[in-house]
Amino acid sequence: MARYDGVFNSLGLREWCDAEKTDGPMSMAQLLAKAKGNDGPVESAGLPFPSLDELHEACAQIGQTRDLTEGIEQGFLAVRAELKFFLDPLTQPLSWLLDGTLYAFEMAPWWVMIPLLVFVSWFVSRSALVTGFVAAVLLVFGFVDHFDVAMQTLAIVFVCTSLSVLIGVPIGIGMSKSDTAQRMIVPILDLLQTLPTFVYLIPLIFLFSVTESKLYGIAIILYAIVPVIRLTDLGIRLVDRDVVEASNAFGMNASQKLMRVELPLALPNIMAGVNQTIMMSLAMVVIASLVSAPGLGVLVLRGIRNLELGVGIVAGIGIVLLAVILDRVSKAALSRVDKARDVK
């Protein structure tokens, strides 16, 4: 007798519960118990929680947990064709951009890429120490024959971070100008920020082919875009109200206030958001190697799958070094912005 039979009997639902009662397939717990020679799962002492599986034991008309998960799956598959038809042309430029950038980074010889990246580091940071560290790390990648895969990872981070900033900054500006927009967008950002990284890949695998670059590109952008949106909104909201009132007194319209007053004053916060977006893009690139994203993450995955300790450790150290140089360069750029604002 099931634990909750009495509840349904007292409610007069026994006939409904027993109507067309059929035994469904065994649950995983029942299969494991049968394999061990038991008749069923071991029941805990006392009254168990009224979960779907427990209620199903007492009333067959109530679905089990596996029915719920199957319903979610079938619902997604039912709209898959329409989603794919809508999203395919919309996201195809992302595949072209990723493939083109990867091709450019891979085909450029080392004697072009290393000086170019060193120059970019100097132009952004204006720090001899940071620039020297970047040059040393790039040379280390070359010495251990990881330069090509490091450039693949860097290319993906570059594209996804750039798109995250291009999309995220306008959204953050819109949030800062409208409390209603902020209330609507913040729960979405909370969801994106708390969702486990692997979960991003599950629906995308059903929508796009694993061979398409946009599969991992979308996952990286969704994961990494949150900080730049939040900090853009925060930075503009923290602009001194007296400064805004002064700009109003000078007759500035909304766009002039935004471009000449609010964005320059919010730039340190926005740059901090860009720094976090870069770091989160790099973290997601490693996870995205599970769905054909090239780069250092592939070597980490190979080390795990094949138990190649040396391969995994060297690739992991390479990811750490790449993260450090990206962090140092972006922070040096943020420091320059802060100093320029203080001088003004």
pLDDT tens digits, one per residue of 269-288: 999 999 999 999 999 988 89
Q: Which domain holds residue 192?
A: 80-343
Percent of the chain with pLDDT over 70: 90
Confidence of residue 323 (pLDDT cuts 50, 70, 90): very high
Do 15 and 119 fall within a single domain? no
CA 105 to CA 52: how far, in whole Å? 53
Choice between 300 and 60, residue whose per-residue pLDDT is larger:
300
Contact 230, 175 (CB under 8 A): no
pLDDT confidence bin for 28, thresholds 50/70/90: low
pLDDT at 299 over 90: yes
Degrees to nearest 5, angle at CA 279 with 278 and 281: 65
User: How many domains does the chain fold into?
Assistant: 2
- Residue-level pLDDT at 7: 78
Residues 73 and 89 in one domain: no
**Are 72 and 89 within one domain?**
no
- Final residue of a structural domain among 77, 103, 118: 77
Which pLDDT band, with edges at 50, 70 and 90, does 101 fall under?
A: very high
Could you tell me if 54 and 160 lie in one domain? no
* Residue range 223-227: mean pLDDT, rounded: 94
310 and 223 in a common domain = yes
Q: How many CB atoms lie within 10 A of CB 333?
A: 20
pLDDT of residue 320: 94
- pLDDT value at 46 more than 80: no
Among 23, 42, 77, the domain-final residue is 77
Q: Contact, 189 vs 233, CB < 8 A? A: no
User: What are the phi and psi torsion angles at 139 (to 5°)?
Assistant: -65, -40
Q: Are 62 and 91 contained in the same domain?
A: no
How many other C-beta atoms are found inside a 10 Å radius of the C-beta of residue 77?
10
When mean pLDDT is compared across 13-17, 43-47, 219-223, the lowest value belongs to 43-47
Give mean pLDDT, residues 332-337: 83
Q: How many CA atoms lie within 13 A of 196 on its CB side?
A: 3
User: Does one domain contain both 105 and 148?
Assistant: yes
Confidence of residue 31 (pLDDT cuts 50, 70, 90): low
Confidence at residue 244, expressed as pLDDT on a 0 to 100 scale: 86
| CATH value at residue 130 | 1.10.3720.10
Which of 17, 48, 77 delimits the end of a domain? 77
The 3-state DSSP composition of the chain as helix, strand, coil percent (nearest 5) reads 80, 0, 20
- Distance between CA atoms of residues 83 and 70, nearest Å: 19
- Cα separation of 137 and 258, whole Å? 39
Of 27 and 277, more confident: 277
Please tell me whether residues 27 and 103 are part of one structural domain. no
More confident residue, 67 or 148: 148
